[in-house]
Chains A and B, each alone.
Chain A
Amino acid sequence: MPGILSELRVLELTHRPSGAYCAKLLADQGADTIKVEPPGWGDQARHEPPFIDEVPHPDRGTSFLAFNTNKRGITLDLEQADGRELFQSLASTVDIIIESYPPGKPAELGLGYDRLSEANPGLILVSITYFGQDGPYANYQGDDLVAQAMGGYLYAVTGSASHPPMGTALQQMEITAARNGAVAVMAALLRREQSGEGTHIDVSTMEAAVSTPSGLIHPYTYTGRNPHRGGSDGNVMDGMHLPTLDGEVTLTTAGTGGRPMQAWAEFLEEPGLLDPKFGSRGGRMEYWEELYALVAPKLAQWTNLDLMRETMARGLVIGLVQTPQQVVESPHLEERGFFVEMDHARAGTLRYPGSGFFIDGENAMESTRPAPRLGEHNVEILCGELGLTVRDLGLLRAARVI
């Protein structure tokens, strides 16, 4: 079955993971997505370590490979007139453009929403930046950590109360902004089906961070208390990571019918857990070190997968703290057919995560192509679709336009 978005065409002109991931979400559902990169260097993510086989190479950066699946790639220097002209030709053929320039820069290049939508009234333009298109921070510099900090996530969510703030790994604010952008695109597409009109969507990564924890703005305005990090500190039964035979696990008190210590005492065969001082959440926090000393050695007798199977059978709810390696080798994900395999000319065959949902039992993730090499589709798109001759292409290359 062709992907749901297979009739759509997307142009991606982004410089940050949020934009690349947003375009990937569309590409993974079948949209013909063309990534436009500056000639020579390309997307900065091509140059971010780590690299496959640990050899620095613009086609081997793992972030680049992960965030650019199912896209075609061309190079264009938009600082040059030919580059802009070719971009405009492409822009008039697409449904969606995703860009992450500083606000105002596209208009400066003659590629602002007004100009582009004149030629293509149904165009959906997504601008995805750290702070949005307006407001006092619009031109601030950012990255994922800055977004975590300014969005209140860093202070309140991850780290330990007795330590400085500490963030969540792997650029999750970028990912969240990208997911917000994809939702916005789908709503805009449905609107366009009704009205024929396109739109300009403004996505802010800082706001993605503010929106993310449920416990930030309104818990403060309701209670006057500032949410603060450290929720897993000393929280043996509901947050800490505890060692197992071959990894780590985090427990919960869920699924115990309101009698967590009885249920866990029985499961772990540790009557010490029945001590009344562990009967309340407060007591468990107060005597956490004693509780840890009882629970940890028992858990350490289990392997992760055995523990998962046996707790599941009794309705207890745990989370294995899996390493990426354990995730890749997960028998559960294997049976579901979650990963899709693609072969990349420089990075080799790798299994890529799916989209997180199956449609009518089928993995919804496309596996048309791995991330493009720099300028891989220049000939295919610029000659094949825009009608340039191979000779012109040579000229543009010499002039560093492509």
Chain B
Amino acid sequence: MPDKGVLEGVRVLTLEQVHALPWGTGFLADLGADVIRVESPDHLQDRKAGPFPEGTPGVEWWNEAGNLVYYGTRNKRSLCMDVTNPHGKEVFLKLVEKTDIVTDNFRPGTMQRFGFDHESLSEINPRIITLSSTAYGYTGPWRRAGSRARTVDAACGLSYLTGYEGGPSMRASNNYMDHSVGNNVAYALLLALYQRSKTGKGIRVDLTMLETGVSAVGPAILEAQRGITRDRLGCAHWWKAPHNVYPARGDDRWIVIVVSSDAEWASLKEAMGQPEWAEGDKFGTALARWHNRHELDELLSEWTAQHDDLELARRLQALGIAAGSCTTARDLVGNAHLQERRYLWEFSNPQAPEVGSRIFAGRPYRDPGNPMTISKVAGLGQDNEEVLANLAGLSSEEIGGLESEGVIFGAPRPDEPRP
């Protein structure tokens, strides 16, 4: 087991908000990089976004949000500093000298306005890697447009292809694309570090949400060029049947069942006790099952509705059939598989003692060579002094001056509205 993170010694300054970029830099923080989140006292949306314990923001609400633990400031440091103030800017540029990566997710133009564009930063530090994560990129006619993850689900083609069978298109997700983009951010940053270890040269990365989204719907992009249209099928499949979500016993309980061969169909019939309706030609072949899938789904639903989804999924899996309960968050927290794999992490944040211990989703892969845990979650401005003294080389008088001038903050301004 390695005794230090693989990215120990790598420093990241990140001007980040919302979800995609913090999720991406979160991987680097988990891998041991010193990720310093430079937060503005004027934009505390992420710290207001919650969730808050029992839905109620406490006295120190700015350190309580669950999202901070999950990706916002986990394993990161927080420097709450107004970089639009000339003194703040000066400090930021001093930090850049000792930094490997600067990331932002402002709209194109903002970093340049701050004087933090790649060209300016590489004059200070020629080895600097910069990554701007934007909706549409630094070039092209849409470069000035803002976005939300859901507007990118739309623009990349994913939402158009998503919907109930025969129904209208439907938003794929509120924030799936944030995760997908965050993963791509982490990948691109690690690629850049790898490249720089070979060349020693700085790198500028222009990463976009739209293009990450389009790269995830490649098959449909190829089809469109040859006039092939992809029907919305809900949970149904191009060639498998049964392949859908079926009602289970209880309120809003569901089970997914997937059959991909005659042998699996025979096993499913056996599990159902060989009902009469399942015999005969109507469902006897893959082709027949697919063409008669609506009737098949209805008949199968009558059977599944009598059963507990978790129990039935176990039974079907024991027969080699791909089946799964449609789990809720509550189910997952108690899920034996995830527990045995130590996927779920329990954490109590010393910066927000009132919140107590809570359970979080872990990181979605295991590598014994690069283990990941939560060691800290930065409170707002928690690391101001340490960063400014040790990295920027400021005296305690200078730090005090920044505080009294309103450049750095250890808490929201007194008149900041509560979430």
> Size of chain A's interface in residues, with CB distance under 8 A?
144
In the complex, chain B residues whose CB is within 8 Å of the CB of A219: 50-51, 66, 329
A332:B205 contact, CB within 8 angstroms: no
B224:A327 contact, CB within 8 angstroms: yes
Among B169, B222, B230, B260, which residue has its beta carbon within 8 angstroms of that of A65?
A: B222
A169:B66 contact, CB within 8 angstroms: no
Does A285 make an interface contact (CB < 8 A)?
no
A326-B169 Cα distance, complex, nearest whole Å: 15
In the complex, chain B residues whose CB is within 8 Å of the CB of A194: 6
A214:B67 contact, CB within 8 angstroms: yes
Does A351 make an interface contact (CB < 8 A)?
yes
A291-B204 Cα distance, complex, nearest whole Å: 44
On whether A158 and B173 interact (CB within 8 A), knowing A187-B370, A202-B365, A358-B205, the answer reads yes
A201:B366 contact, CB within 8 angstroms: yes
Give a binary string over B149-164; 1 marks a CB under 8 Å from any A CB, 0 the rest.
0111111111111111
A201:B367 contact, CB within 8 angstroms: yes
In the complex, chain A residues whose CB is within 8 Å of the CB of B217: 169-170, 324, 327, 353
B176:A361 contact, CB within 8 angstroms: no
B146:A211 contact, CB within 8 angstroms: no
On whether A335 and B367 interact (CB within 8 A), knowing A49-B239, A62-B219, A62-B223, the answer reads no
Instruction: Tell me which residues from 175 to 233 in chain A have a Cβ below 8 Å from any Cβ of chain B.
Output: 175-177, 179-184, 186-191, 193-195, 197-204, 206-208, 210-227, 231-232
Task: Specify the chain A residue showing the minimal Cβ separation from B201.
Answer: A360
A204:B235 contact, CB within 8 angstroms: no
In the complex, chain B residues whose CB is within 8 Å of the CB of A213: 173-176, 179
Min CB distance, A58 to chain B, in Å? Answer: 15
Among B7, B140, B160, which residue has its beta carbon within 8 angstroms of that of A190?
A: B7
A218:B361 contact, CB within 8 angstroms: yes
A357:B205 contact, CB within 8 angstroms: yes
The stretch that binds B, out of A159-167, A270-278, A295-303, A388-396, is: A159-167
Min CB distance, B409 to chain A, in Å? Answer: 22
Interface residues on B, range: 35 or more
Min CB distance, B64 to chain A, in Å? Answer: 9
In the complex, chain B residues whose CB is within 8 Å of the CB of A333: 140, 210-211, 214
A222:B358 contact, CB within 8 angstroms: yes
Chain B contact residues: over half helix, strand or loop, or mixed?
Answer: mixed
Does A107 make an interface contact (CB < 8 A)?
no
Instruction: Tell me which residues from 1 to 43 in chain A have a Cβ below 8 Å from any Cβ of chain B.
Output: 4-5, 25, 29
Instruction: Tell me which residues from 239 to 261 in chain B have a Cβ below 8 Å from any Cβ of chain A.
Output: 239, 243, 245, 247, 254-256, 258, 260
Min CB distance, A234 to chain B, in Å? Answer: 12
Instruction: Tell me which residues from 331 to 389 in chain B have a Cβ below 8 Å from any Cβ of chain A.
Output: 331-333, 336-338, 340-341, 343-344, 355, 358-370
Min CB distance, B43 to chain A, in Å? Answer: 13
Most chain B C-beta atoms within 10 Å of own C-beta, residue among A49, A194, A206, A309 = A206
Does B171 make an interface contact (CB < 8 A)?
yes
A217:B207 contact, CB within 8 angstroms: no
A359-B195 Cα distance, complex, nearest whole Å: 11
A251-B352 Cα distance, complex, nearest whole Å: 36
In the complex, chain A residues whose CB is within 8 Å of the CB of B323: 141, 146
B188:A191 contact, CB within 8 angstroms: no
In the complex, chain B residues whose CB is within 8 Å of the CB of A208: 364
Task: Specify the chain B residue showing the minimal Cβ separation from A218.
Answer: B66
Min CB distance, B203 to chain A, in Å? Answer: 6
A301-B171 Cα distance, complex, nearest whole Å: 22
Does A151 make an interface contact (CB < 8 A)?
yes
Instruction: Tell me which residues from 64 to 102 in chain B have a Cβ below 8 Å from any Cβ of chain A.
Output: 66-67, 69-71
Task: Specify the chain A residue showing the minimal Cβ separation from B204.
Answer: A360
In the complex, chain A residues whose CB is within 8 Å of the CB of B148: 252, 254, 317, 319
Task: Specify the chain A residue showing the minimal Cβ separation from B53.
Answer: A222
Among A67, A188, A217, which residue has its beta carbon within 8 angstroms of that of B369?
A: A188
The stretch that binds B, out of A70-78, A81-89, A132-140, A259-267, is: A132-140
Does A106 make an interface contact (CB < 8 A)?
no
Chain A contact residues: over half helix, strand or loop, or mixed?
Answer: mixed
Task: Specify the chain B residue showing the minimal Cβ separation from A250.
Answer: B154
Instruction: Tell me which residues from 66 to 111 in chain A have a Cβ below 8 Å from any Cβ of chain B.
Output: 66-67
A194-B3 Cα distance, complex, nearest whole Å: 13
On whether A356 and B212 interact (CB within 8 A), knowing A141-B322, A308-B142, A328-B224, the answer reads yes
Most chain A C-beta atoms within 10 Å of own C-beta, residue among B19, B131, B340 = B340
Does B124 make an interface contact (CB < 8 A)?
no
Min CB distance, A213 to chain B, in Å? Answer: 7
Min CB distance, B278 to chain A, in Å? Answer: 20
Does B272 make an interface contact (CB < 8 A)?
no
A201-B7 Cα distance, complex, nearest whole Å: 18
In the complex, chain A residues whose CB is within 8 Å of the CB of B55: 222-223, 225
A63:B332 contact, CB within 8 angstroms: no
B336:A136 contact, CB within 8 angstroms: yes
Among B160, B230, B233, B234, which residue has its beta carbon within 8 angstroms of that of A50?
A: B230
Among A29, A191, A254, A322, which residue has its beta carbon within 8 angstroms of that of B146?
A: A254
Among B161, B180, B330, which residue has its beta carbon within 8 angstroms of that of A226?
A: B330
Among B172, B197, B325, which residue has its beta carbon within 8 angstroms of that of A169?
A: B172
Min CB distance, A292 to chain B, in Å? Answer: 13
On whether A203 and B205 interact (CB within 8 A), knowing A156-B328, A350-B222, the answer reads no
A352-B213 Cα distance, complex, nearest whole Å: 13
A354-B216 Cα distance, complex, nearest whole Å: 10
In the complex, chain B residues whose CB is within 8 Å of the CB of A381: none
B172:A67 contact, CB within 8 angstroms: no
B364:A25 contact, CB within 8 angstroms: no
Among B164, B192, B211, B256, which residue has its beta carbon within 8 angstroms of that of A149?
A: B256
A163:B164 contact, CB within 8 angstroms: yes
Among A145, A157, A217, A224, which residue has its beta carbon within 8 angstroms of that of B256?
A: A145
Does B187 make an interface contact (CB < 8 A)?
yes
10 CB-based A-B contacts, threshold 8 Å: A157-B176, A165-B326, A197-B369, A204-B365, A211-B363, A212-B179, A217-B332, A232-B150, A319-B151, A358-B137
A interface residues (Cβ-Cβ under 8 A, vs B): 4-5, 25, 29, 48-50, 52-54, 62-63, 65-67, 131-132, 134-137, 140-143, 145-152, 154-160, 163-170, 172, 175-177, 179-184, 186-191, 193-195, 197-204, 206-208, 210-227, 231-232, 239-241, 248-250, 252, 254-255, 308-309, 311-312, 315, 317-328, 331-333, 335-336, 338, 347, 350-361, 364
Q: A184-B365, A232-B174 are in contact. List 5 more A-B contacts (CB 8 A).
A: A218-B358, A226-B328, A232-B150, A332-B140, A355-B211
B interface residues (Cβ-Cβ under 8 A, vs A): 2, 6-7, 19, 23, 27, 31, 50-55, 66-67, 69-71, 131, 136-137, 139-142, 144-148, 150-164, 168-176, 178-181, 183-184, 186-188, 190-195, 197, 203-208, 210-226, 228, 230, 232-235, 237-239, 243, 245, 247, 254-256, 258, 260, 317, 320-333, 336-338, 340-341, 343-344, 355, 358-370
